[in-house]
Amino acid sequence: MCAMQRNTTPCYYTDYLQLDKLLGAQQPESPKYGQEAHEEMLFIIVHQAYELWFKQILHEMKAIYGEFNQQTIPDEALGRIASRLERIVSIQKLLIDQISIMETMTPLDFLDFRDYLVPASGFQSIQFKEIEITLGLKSENRTNFDKASFYNRLNATDREHLQALEERPSLFDCVENWLARIPFFEYGDFKFWDAYADAVDRMLTSDRAIIENNDYLAEQDREFQLKDLANTRRSFDALLDADSYREMQAAGQFRLSQKALLGAVFINLYRDEPMFQQPFRVLTALTEIDENFTTWRYRHVMMVQRMLGSKIGTGGSSGTDYLRQTTENNRFFKDFFSLSTFLLPRSALPALPEPLKKALNFYFHPSEVKSEQSTKV
């Protein structure tokens, strides 16, 4: 069967992709000053490819933001959100792999044209800054050096655009609000966090007994493990106590609100329940996005150190020292990496009341459908 043509004007491959513009957009700087540096073409194409993928990431993020930035998120939206986040994860893996292509250029090859690029810098990638701000990395969350330098290398138009973007809620804010609205913590007489606290106490008491009665531990090792166990208990206590949590939040140990973190813990504990399978996919994808950007920054640090050594960057930064600071500190969803601290073995999870389990599961009974149909006849 032939496909039906729906367009009224024939579509030509070259015109559709605007290849004249795309393939004519590589204009090396080195020929302006003498012989063209062969490696500059690779440098341009790799960075243009980054910007194209950044554009696709922003396209996905705008759709995700639109779904998240509402008071009630329809159940069917979570599948779309998870799929688009997972697409971003796949793109990030490609971005990380692209660094290997850049590393086929040697430091001497780079020096053939590097000085012609001053003061251009990755600092000036507006799309990447948009990605960071949209995800939730705003000026107040950056390292001290980054706070001072984030805007001063941009022209007025780009600066105003990004500053306006900082004024609206970020995806982090939307996710935080969504998690804080997670229900099911109380169901009739059942109070989940009371049952959870009892389960945690039993687990930690058992862990303490194992450490104290382990004849193979040296006394120094025993003291170290008991101290570590005490810190774990304090973390659990802070999770469930509003005042303690606020103190740890003020100290920078948590960024999410207590309600939001409790929601994330609950989703992870009961991720096998059908109601939480899509939310768990969403949290996993957000965690992977954070991890992949951290990996990408780290690979970038290694590449820059290999290319520049201790030289300053073309944009005037301290080169590798600056990039190394941003690698670990400029994070989006760092709290999600701490969730495993608060997980319990499945065997130790508080049993949910049967009506609550039913609410968390897909439920269909033919007799109820027949009964409903009979009332409509």
pLDDT tens digits, 101-128:
999 999 999 999 999 998 888 778 999 9
Token pair belonging to 97: 């792999």
Q: What is the dihedral of CA 167, 296, 143, 265, to 10 degrees?
A: 70
208-257: per-residue pLDDT in tens?
999 999 989 899 999 999 999 999 999 999 999 999 999 999 998 899 99
pTM above 0.95, yes or no: no
Average pLDDT rounded to a whole number, residues 37-41: 97
Q: Contact at 8 Å (CB) between 354 and 346? A: no
**Where would I find the H helices in 40-166?**
40-68, 75-102, 107-111, 126-135, 144-149, 156-166
Closest to 266 in 3D by CA, of 184, 331, 354, 188: 184
Higher-scoring residue by pLDDT: 325, 270: 270
Q: Are 73 and 178 in contact (CB under 8 A)?
A: yes
The total number of residues shown for the chain amounts to: 377
What are the extents of the domains in the chain? 35-376
Using DSSP, state whether 103 is helix, strand or coil: coil
The DSSP secondary structure of 197-257, one letter per residue, reads HHHHHHHHHHHHHHHHT-TTS-HHHHHHHHHHHHHHHHHHHHHH-HHHHHHHHHTTS--S-
pLDDT at 377 over 80: no
328 or 195: which leads in pLDDT: 195
Contact (Cβ atoms closer than 8 angstroms) between residue 172 and residue 136 = yes
Please say whether the structural domain 35-376 has been given the CATH code 1.20.58.480: yes
